[in-house]
């Protein structure tokens, strides 16, 4: 090979002789290790554990009273599983912002079969699903979401409280 390297303008100075070796290796690898450790940190507590998938728990007094074939949420179960969060947000906006100019109105939810329900987490949902730990939390914990509904909303509705 030529001692001088060329381009279209002609010959240049000799190629600089730089020793071929890995520079600053210890800093680079130390940094990489620290980085990987930090990335892995959140996963470490769960290593080797199997977390059982949530099981639907419907054994609350209100649901047990309903005949097996009539046990139906306000919407089909599959739909509820996928969309309950958006539905609750819609309910919330409809109820709280009732009568605001241009806002959607209504304190009631009309199911496709025509049945009307009070749009209320505490007084409608939690009335049947009074087993919050088993019904709500189990699944939320499994998928690691932490909705803050219960920071304000109570787990026991008016009807249940009065029944007691």
Partner 1 sequence: MGIDRREFIRIAGLSTLLGLGGKGAFELLRPGQVEASMAAKPAAEGVVRWAMVVNMRKMDDDTAKKCAAACHRVHNVPNFAQPKDPKDALPPDIVNRYEVKWIWPEHFHNAFPGEEHPHMPEQMKNLPFLLLCNHCDNPPCVRVCPTKATFRREDGIVNMDMHRCIGCRFCMAGCPFGARSFNWKDPRPYITDTYPGYPTREIGMVEKCTFCAERLAQNMMPACVEASSGALVFGDLNDERSQVRATLKRYFSIRRKVHLGTNPQVYYIV
Site of interaction with partner 1 (CB under 8 A): 92, 96-101, 107, 122-123, 148, 151-154, 156-158, 160-162
Q: How far is the CB of 128 from partner 1 (least distance, A)?
A: 16
Q: Tell me whether residue 74 or residue 126 sits nearer to partner 1 (CB atom).
A: 126
What kind and span of H or E run contains 108? strand 108-110
Nearest to 131 by CA among 40, 62, 32, 37: 62
Q: Tell me whether residue 15 or residue 159 sits nearer to partner 1 (CB atom).
A: 159
User: In angstroms, how far is CA 128 from the centroid of its own chain?
Assistant: 23
Measured CA to CA, the distance from residue 118 to residue 107 in angstroms comes to 6
Q: How far is the CB of 106 from partner 1 (least distance, A)?
A: 10
Indicate the SS3 state at residue 109.
strand
Q: Tell me whether residue 56 or residue 97 sits nearer to partner 1 (CB atom).
A: 97
Q: How far is the CB of 117 from partner 1 (least distance, A)?
A: 15
CB atoms within 10 A of CB 79: 13
Q: How far is the CB of 149 from partner 1 (least distance, A)?
A: 9
Q: How far is the CB of 107 from partner 1 (least distance, A)?
A: 5
Measured CA to CA, the distance from residue 118 to residue 66 in angstroms comes to 19
Around 144, how many Cα atoms within 13 Å sit in the side-chain half-sphere? 4
Q: Tell me whether residue 73 or residue 150 sits nearer to partner 1 (CB atom).
A: 150
Q: Tell me whether residue 7 or residue 99 sits nearer to partner 1 (CB atom).
A: 99
């Amino acid at each position: 090979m030529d001692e001088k390297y060329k381009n279209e303008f002609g010959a240049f100075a000799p190629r600089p002789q730089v020793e071929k070796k890995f520079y600053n290796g210890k800093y680079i690898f130390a940094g990489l290790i620290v980085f990987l450790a930090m990335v892995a940190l959140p996963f470490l507590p769960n290593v080797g554990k199997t977390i059982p998938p949530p099981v639907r728990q419907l054994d609350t007094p209100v649901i047990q009273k309903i005949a097996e074939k009539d046990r139906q949420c306000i919407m089909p179960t599959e739909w509820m599983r996928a969309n309950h969060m958006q539905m609750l947000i819609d309910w919330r906006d409809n109820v709280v912002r009732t009568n605001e100019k241009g806002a959607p109105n209504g304190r009631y939810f009309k199911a496709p079969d025509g049945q009307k329900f009070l749009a209320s987490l505490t007084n409608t949902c939690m009335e049947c699903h009074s087993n919050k730990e088993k019904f709500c939390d189990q699944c939320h914990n499994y998928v690691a979401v932490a909705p803050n509904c219960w920071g304000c909303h109570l787990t026991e509705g008016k009807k249940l409280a009065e029944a007691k």
